[in-house]
Every structure is written in structure tokens, then in C-alpha cells.
Chain A
Amino acid sequence: MPKLEDVNALKSMASIIRQDIIRMLVESKSGHPAGSLGLADIFTALYFNVMRHDPKKPHWEDRDRLVLSNGHVCPVLYASLANAGYFPKEQLMTLRKLGSPLQGHPHRGALPGIENSSGPLGQGISMAVGMALVGKREGKTWRVYTITGDGEHNEGQVWEALLLASKYKLHNLVVVVDRNSIQIDGTTEDVLPLEPFSDKYRAFGWNVIEVDGNDMNAILGAFRSLDSVTDMPTVIIADTVPGKGVSFMEGKYGWHGKAPNKEDGEKAIKELEAES
């Protein structure tokens, strides 16, 4: 898979992915825009620069794996996969429609490139731990990247998985937390406080990297620093702006699970085009 080395090229790709997300959600009339837009820079970095993968060989044994734990942000996964060449971009417009492989929450096997079915929160890190254990014990060089939400850390299973990853010193496991500080009923600190969040990960034996999750240079820097980690799992706590790139969605938890209508969509696309 040809890499985009240039930061500006990556930023342009992130904007294309954001526009695709908006078009998909306008068309599907339901779905989760805020988290999807917020994560576009991280997904772009992973699929177009960081990860070792081949869209023509989705089952390639030595590929890096991306496990999406917070499945509701799948529009950003679908848009990234389509732009990377896993399937035709036209399919994006079938999101959430009857008969479409683009399910409302991802289904493994429905589309090339999807590593796991997800939806109920808290399950992805466990699966990623299982994969990383196999990779580590069999001396493989691939990594497992897991995308999770911050609100998802309310689930007890997350902490079970963090303990186990630390026990087995899974250096090949990377958890990216979308620290956008919103969840359905309000801010994460109102609903169930997570702070001091990074200290919790440190206490669990994890290598912690905190980064601006919408700054492409910073994101690339965080992923590049992973090579020096050999005996512990890493968490990248990515401070992102929910709805990033669309002024009227930025920071508004009302856009967690509400699709833009046609008019909102056109406005959003215009803003995104002007930025890129």
C-alpha cells in the first residue's frame, strides 16, 4: 500500500474522509458523526502512513491489525478502508441500508479489512489482547492497534483487558483512546469521571502517550515513538474535538448519535472543502 509521507497529503486525505463521512450520514439519515469526524486524523495516519497492510490482501498474515472497539464510529473506518482501496467508494453510500455490507456497527466478514464485529462497548481491547498474545508468543512483528472511546472506559471489561495486557507485557499492543470527553448523557466527567485518566493507565503498567488527536504531526510522532517500547503495552490518549472540521458540530454532544440533514450536510461539506 503506497504510503502518504507528506503531512499535507495526509491532511488532505483526512478532509476527504470527513467529507465522505458527512455524505454517508446524510444519505443514511442515522449514525454517529461527532466521534467519526473527531477520529478522522488518527484513522488517516494509521491507514495511510503507520500501519503495514495491503488492501489487495486483507487476510495477509503479517498485516498490522486495527480493532475498532467503539463500533459506532464505523463511518470513519468505512471511509478510510474505501479510500485505501479495500472496496469501491460507491459502496459508502449504502451505509445502514438493507442488504449493505456497511452495517450500522461493523460486522467482521461483511467487508474486507474489518477485523472484528463490535457495537456493545468494552469488548475490543479484549480481542486485541488475544491477537497481540498470539503475535508476541509466535514472534511476529505485526502490531495490533485498538481504537476505543473514553466513555467506553465505564465498562468494567476494559479494565480486565488492561490488567491482562500488562501482565503479558504486550509491547505489540497499542490502544488509542478517543479522549473527546463526551458521551451520550453528557461530558465524561459529569457522567462518570475518568480523571486522573492517564494516571490510571500508568498505574496499570502501561506506557502512556498524550497527544493532540487532531494534529497530524503530533499523531505521527506518537506512533513513531512506539518502536522503542519493548516490554509494555502503549496507550495513546488522543485529545480530539468531537465533530472536528465542522464548526456547528465541534464540541457538541448533541451530534454524538444524530445524522446531519441535507442542508446541514451541504454546509458541512462546504466548510471542509474550504479548509482543505
Chain B
Amino acid sequence: MTDMHLVPDLFGAAITKKASRDGFGKALLELGEKDPNVWAVSADVSESTRTHWFAEKFPQRFVQVGVAEQNMAGVAAGIASCGKLAFISAFGAFSPGRNFDQIRVSVCYNDSNVKVHASHAGLSVGPDGASHQMLEDVALMRSLPNMMVIVPCDVEQAKKATLAVAKVKTPAYIRTSRENAPVFTTPNTPFEIGKANVYRDGKDVAIFACGLQVYEALKAAEELKKKGIDAAVIDMHTIKPIDAATITTYASKCGIVVSVEDHQINGGLGSAIAEVLCEKCPTPLVRVGMKDKFGESGNAYDLFKKYGLDAAGIVKAAENAMKLKR
């Protein structure tokens, strides 16, 4: 197994907590410094999406469109058509929530070099409530031709993912969170688009997670170990193109699969994994995610607990999964 260079004291109380949106913002600034062709467009939420660091330094390459996400996507496609790389940023609920058609046609059908960054994704938005908890974005974005979909697990990975998509000429979607969450990967942790990271090997059950749920899955694996269950934990940061090889390898090895995501169970990571399993390696799958419901106000981790997206929920799902084992 490749050394993943995670932080040494993975479950220590002293683990640093940061929001993955910061990783995006830092990478954007770095890209701006390195490449005069990088532009950024914001829809009235530049500080929240961490686009403001770029905006302050490169006002000539920053465009403030106001609360107008549809226009934002089109403007970015126009900028990109002049040989630029354009990043658009807003809350996931509004982009891609509001501007799916513009992302579909102006960005994807034009094959524009536009990267869509959605912050404040999922239940982890917390107190703002259901209207702002974007739980359907991965389903929308992964259905689009030419679009790549990445859900980083922490601030370090968000930075690497942003730098990585900048090197690709096609549209890409990056989903980050506002919630401060454990920074458990390091600058040395590998990141390659489309290549899942196996953080923990195991033979009894394979847990595939993305976003903040990767750390929860690692915690769950520790608990499962105490119960005599040897769980593998795999970080599926790239949902499209999906790493089918790693999915089938671990499905064959463990014979049972659990998917975990801060997203509706329909259409997201769990569905992407189900598609691979059904076609290449039929294996029972238990999907952990929002069960076709809207969320509600509350703190992020209280919501994770209530809806079964925390370590305890994953342990329960894994135990249930073990019963399905053939």
C-alpha cells in the first residue's frame, strides 16, 4: 500500500481544524501569481468562497457580477474563450443550484476552460438550514459531458485539487465546505485526479467516502476494529472520472461496500459506485447519505449525527452491511 503521509496523531484532540474552502482560496491565489491568464469571477460571496484573496491582489483579473449566478457562468465562458482559465465561485445552492443550464451549455457544451467552485456544500453548512444545504450538486454535475467532479476531504486536498484542475483544459467542479474540519492529510499526501486514495487497508468491509466524511470513516474504522471488523477506508475525492479499478479491487477483496457522502443518497458518490459495481463486480452496497430528504438548521456535526453521517452512523451502516455479506 502506498504511504499516504497522513498526520501522525490522526485521532488526537490537538488535530488542526480548517475549512476546505481556504484550500481553494490559497490555491487560486497561487495560480494567479504563477499565471497571468487565470481569472476569477464571483457572485457577491467572494470572502465566503475565499476568492477575495485573489481579488485583492489581482483586481484586473477579478470580475464581480453581483448576485447573478447565471450571468457568472456565462461571463466566465466568455473569458475562457479568449484563452483564459476562469474560476467561478459561489455557494453550491446557487452555483450549480441556480445556473445548471448555463453550466451545461455555456460551459460544458462550449468545452470552456471554466472551473466551478462551490463552497458551503452539503449539510455541513449547518445553521443556514435546508435551502442553503446543497445536497444535489454532485448528481447534477456528474451527469454533464466534459465535466470533472472533485470533492476534497480537507483543506490540504482542496488546495491540491484546485492546482490539479488548473492543469486540465476541460470544465471541472470542485466542492468545498465552510465548516472547520480536521486537517488529516499533509502536503505529502498524494493527489491525482481520478485516483482514489486508500488511507486504510482492510479485508472485511470497504468504506468509500468523500469530503468531510472521509475522516468520519477513518474514525469509524477504528471503532469497527474494536468490534473485530477490519474495514478499508478509501477517499474517493474524484467522483468523475470514477476510479473503477480501486472500487472493484476492494469490492472483490472485502465482498461488501459502504459509501458515505454529505449529499443525497441518489445521484452522488453512492450512485456512482453502484454503477461501477453493477456493471463490473456485483457486490452488495450500503449507501450512507441524505435519504431523499431536505435538511434543517443545526450545527454541522449535530446534523451529521442526526442523519447518520458521522462515525457512529458509519459504524452502524458497516455492521448492517456485514449482515448482507454473501
Query: Taking beta carbons and an 8 Å cutoff, which residues of A are in contact with B?
Result: 61, 67, 107-109, 115-120, 122-135, 137, 156-157, 160-161, 163-164
Q: Which residue of A lies closest to B79 (CB)?
A: A130
Q: Which residue of A lies closest to B114 (CB)?
A: A130
In whole angstroms, how far apart are the Cα atoms of A109 and B63 in the complex? 26
Contact A117 B70 (CB under 8 A): no
Known: A126-B75, A127-B74. A134 touches B66 (CB 8 A): no
Which residues from chain A contact B80 at a C-beta distance below 8 Å?
130
Which residues from chain B contact A131 at a C-beta distance below 8 Å?
78-79, 81-82
In whole angstroms, how far apart are the Cα atoms of A94 and B77 in the complex? 28
- Nearest Cβ in chain B — how far from A127, in angstroms? 4
Which residues from chain B contact A108 at a C-beta distance below 8 Å?
81, 109-111
- Nearest Cβ in chain B — how far from A123, in angstroms? 5
Contact A123 B102 (CB under 8 A): yes
Which residues from chain B contact A129 at a C-beta distance below 8 Å?
71, 74-75, 78
Q: Which residue of B lies closest to A132 (CB)?
A: B78
Which residues from chain A contact B71 at a C-beta distance below 8 Å?
126, 129, 157, 160-161, 164
B309 within 8 A of A: no
Give the residue of A107, A132, A135, A160 whose beta carbon is less than 8 angstroms from that of B70: A160
Known: A107-B109, A115-B81. A130 touches B101 (CB 8 A): no
Contact A127 B77 (CB under 8 A): yes
Total A-B Cβ pairs within 8 A: 101
Which residues from chain A contact B109 at a C-beta distance below 8 Å?
107-108, 117
In whole angstroms, how far apart are the Cα atoms of A108 and B106 in the complex? 10
Could you write out 25 A-B pairs with CB less than 8 Å apart?
A67-B78, A108-B111, A115-B81, A122-B70, A123-B70, A123-B74, A123-B101, A126-B70, A126-B77, A127-B78, A128-B78, A129-B71, A129-B74, A130-B86, A131-B79, A131-B81, A133-B63, A133-B75, A134-B78, A135-B82, A137-B61, A157-B71, A160-B70, A161-B75, A164-B66
User: Which of B74, B86, B101 has most chain A Cβ within 10 Å?
Assistant: B74
In whole angstroms, how far apart are the Cα atoms of A164 and B61 in the complex? 15
Give the residue of B63, B66, B68, B81 whose beta carbon is less than 8 angstroms from that of A127: B81
Known: A126-B71, A126-B78. 18 other contacts (CB 8 A): A117-B106, A120-B105, A122-B70, A123-B74, A126-B106, A127-B81, A127-B110, A130-B74, A130-B76, A130-B77, A130-B86, A131-B82, A133-B63, A133-B75, A134-B39, A134-B79, A134-B84, A137-B60
